[in-house]
Amino acid sequence: MEHKIVVIPGDGIGGEIVEAALRVLQAAANQSNISLSLQEYYAGGAALDRYEEPLPQETVQAAKQADAVLLGAVGGPQWDGVAPELRPERAILGLRQELGLYANLRPVRVIPSLASYSPVKEEVVSGVDILIVRELNGGIYFGEKGTEGDKAWDVEMYSRPEIERIAEVAFQAAKGRHRQVTSVDKANVLASSRLWRATVMEAAKAHPDISLNHYYVDNFAMQLILAPAQFDVVVTNNLFGDILSDAAAVLAGSIGMLPSASVGRETSLYEPIHGSAPEIAGQGIANPLGTILSAAMLLDYSLQKPEAARAVEQAVEDVLAAGYRTQDIYRPGTTKVSTAEMGRLVEEKLNELAK
């Protein structure tokens, strides 16, 4: 069976990091006898330049028919002057809506050889392995918006089915981890959060083997820095998830290390959590590991090959343990390598582990 993967390099460093990730993905596929059909499409600023729109219909249709989508990054200052509806970032929101991507999974795992790289104390971040499950298709980002005179508003709204759906993702994820879910809300102030908490508590009854606790978002933000190792799976709404997952990124030492998956009913999209970094594009210094680990998530979630995913993760860990670093994580005493070299090193380690 051939698996169709739509590849969207995007803008800035997107092409460089995706190229490195595809080398690793193809090597992992070969080892697991997986047949891949890789098809490249445009989105973001590259699509705007070519088609005068950030998300062409041919990209949408290809993505809908694919088993998975691998995305680099979109955006850049050269498109800052375009109309809001034409901004490259609209491609991401458009793909989420068109593909029905309702759950954003952001693992935050501190690799042992990088524990000292975090601005948070090493003894605090050691052993951190959190999966943030963010509701992706509702809430304040998609609610009613308006401006009138000197007033403006954005409405936060959730339905019970939307909350039940994302809670189920979190509980299922916890079954393969440490069986603990933390739900984050602001139920002491917001009506939408009170519905959130009540619905998550009701959903938990179907999973008696999973422990559930609740945090207000402000307290959770503090605990995320003070004692992050206490958390396993964290489920929260769109706005809180957006903010908290970026805050959690500092625990890992570099935003360039972190992958993500946006899950839908028919297909899923995989991308690193960082941006297009146009200031370093073309210099060969970008960190491709977040994209490579996103490809590992693709193997796990979309292709149902968890062993292949674990092998990629182990190869990344081994390359870092051997002291190889891209510029963002370079320190004296380690070996600085380029974007392409890092991809090659992970590919070689992956092949070595398979022998």
Known catalytic membership, residue 186 = yes
Considering 216, 246, 301, 330, which one is annotated as catalytic?
246
Yes or no: say if 326 and 17 are a contact pair by the CB < 8 Å rule.
no
Residues ≥6 apart with Cβ < 8 Å to 231: 130, 180, 182, 223, 224
Considering 49, 129, 141, 318, which one is annotated as catalytic?
141
Considering 145, 154, 175, 218, which one is annotated as catalytic?
218
Yes or no: say if 49 and 82 are a contact pair by the CB < 8 Å rule.
no
Give bridge partners of residue 153 from the DSSP assignment: 146
Known catalytic membership, residue 300 = no
Known catalytic membership, residue 41 = no
Pairing of strands 145-148, 151-154: antiparallel
Give bridge partners of residue 209 from the DSSP assignment: none
Give bridge partners of residue 7 from the DSSP assignment: 40, 70
Query: What is the rounded distance in angstroms from the CA atom of residue 130 to the CA atom of residue 125?
Result: 11
Both tokens of 112, joined, read 């042992």
Considering 41, 102, 186, 324, which one is annotated as catalytic?
186
Cα atoms in the Cβ-side hemisphere of radius 13 Å centred on 325: 17
Scanning the chain, the segments in alpha helix (DSSP H) are 14-31, 45-51, 57-65, 90-98, 122-125, 160-175, 191-204, 217-226, 238-249, 289-301, 306-321, 339-354
Query: What is the rounded distance in angstroms from the CA atom of residue 111 to the CA atom of residue 126?
Result: 8
Both tokens of 314, joined, read 């182990």
Considering 242, 300, 305, 349, which one is annotated as catalytic?
242
Both tokens of 1, joined, read 């069976």
Known catalytic membership, residue 209 = no
Question: Is 352 exposed, middle or buried (CB count within 10 Å of its CB: 0-12, 13-18, 19+)?
Answer: exposed
- Residue among 249, 337, 327, 334 at smallest CA distance from 293: 249
Known catalytic membership, residue 218 = yes
Query: What is the rounded distance in angstroms from the CA atom of residue 354 to the CA atom of residue 322?
Result: 18
Active site residues: 141, 186, 218, 242, 246
